[in-house]
Amino acid sequence: MIKVESIDYKYEDGTLALKNVSIDLDKGKVIGLIGGNGSGKSTLFLNILGILKPSKGKIKYNNEPIKYDKKSLRDYRQKVTMVFQDPDKQLFYSKVYDDMAFPLRNLDIAEDEIKEKVNASLAEVKALDLIEKPTHFLSYGQKKRISIGGALIMDSKVLLLDEPTSGLDPAMSKEVKSIIKNLSQEKRIVVSSHDMDFIYEACDYIYIISKGEILGEGVAEDVFLDKDILEKSGLEKPWLVKIHENLNLPLYKSESELLENRD
Ligand SMILES: Nc1ncnc2c1ncn2[C@@H]1O[C@H](COP(=O)(O)OP(=O)(O)O)[C@@H](O)[C@H]1O
Ligand SMILES: [Mg+2]
């Protein structure tokens, strides 16, 4: 799968946005990347996707360093897809159906098969009813949903979700959590967020990034019980960890687990 090996990334204006970052996507099924604004999450994703090229270090896919020529990148992006934080960066201004079909049309796939795939991807994100809508009439939450659906169309092995819950209401965030859970059966998922409750419940392995450096990593339960790392990165603890520590309750992984187990 994907390994990020000691990469630096420097923007043209001299900002060193990633410093010696190493990440192994085999560490979990749903990997969380947490860090505050400007910590380097999106920059890291763009490096993993091959849109940006590290100034030092390597990204490897199945033990081979990724190549940056057009053809190699086109092949690579059938295996690794990303949902951008801002859905407007991802959607063109056309009907939902055409928007989703676009990458497949580029591959010369028969329209019948395309139709099937678009329907399946829309069903996965519970947005089949939007298929005929122009994307510019969609609400923000609907756009997010369609952009996640669009990233599924390729049947990729790895899905990068950059702050998938930002700007969503609680019900929609909950749904994104369940979409992630379903998808994790068939592909590796990496989610970035500064929403600790969401990450704690959705992910099994976590990397903490701060000012372009990985401050810590581990299984969710260990990372969120580590006071030093959280303090250093300026992040909040998930509420389930807080009640575990302050009310002497067991450490539950989700609200429903807590409610099922109360006396
Ligand atoms: N195009 C760019 N040019 C220069 N600096 C950038 C650019 N994009 C991001 N940065 C800087 O890189 C750092 C990391 O940004 P980013 O990866 O967007 O963080 P995050 O996604 O965690 O909020 C920040 O200091 C940000 O200001
Ligand atoms: Mg970002």
Please state the atom number of ligand 1 nearest to the C-alpha of residue 36: 22
pLDDT at 263: 65
**Residue whose CA is at the smallest distance from ligand 1 atom 2:** 11
Determine phi and psi for 73, rounding to 5 degrees: -65, -35
Report how far ligand 1's centroid is from the alpha carbon of 17 (Å): 6
DSSP 192-224: EES-HHHHHHH-SEEEEEETTEEEEEEEHHHHH
pLDDT at 101: 93
**Residue whose CA is at the smallest distance from ligand 1 atom 27:** 38
Q: The domain spanning residue 63 has which CATH number?
A: 3.40.50.300
Q: At what angle do helices 111-124 and 140-152 cross, to 10 degrees?
A: 130
pLDDT at 156: 94
Please state the atom number of ligand 1 nearest to the C-alpha of residue 162: 21
Sort 1 into a burial class: Cβ within 10 Å, 0-12 / 13-18 / 19+.
middle
pLDDT at 41: 97
Which of 12, 43, 83 maximizes ligand 1 atoms within 8 Å of its Cβ, making it the mutation to test the pocket? 43
Question: How many domains is the chain built from?
Answer: 1
The residue segments making up the domain with residue 179 are 2-261
39 ligand 1 Cβ < 6 A = yes
Nearby residues of 86 by Cβ (< 8 Å), 6 or more positions away: none
Name the stretches of the chain with pLDDT < 70: 263
- What predicted TM-score, i.e. pTM, was given to this entire model? 0.92
> How far, in Å, CA of 32 to CA of 143, rounded?
23
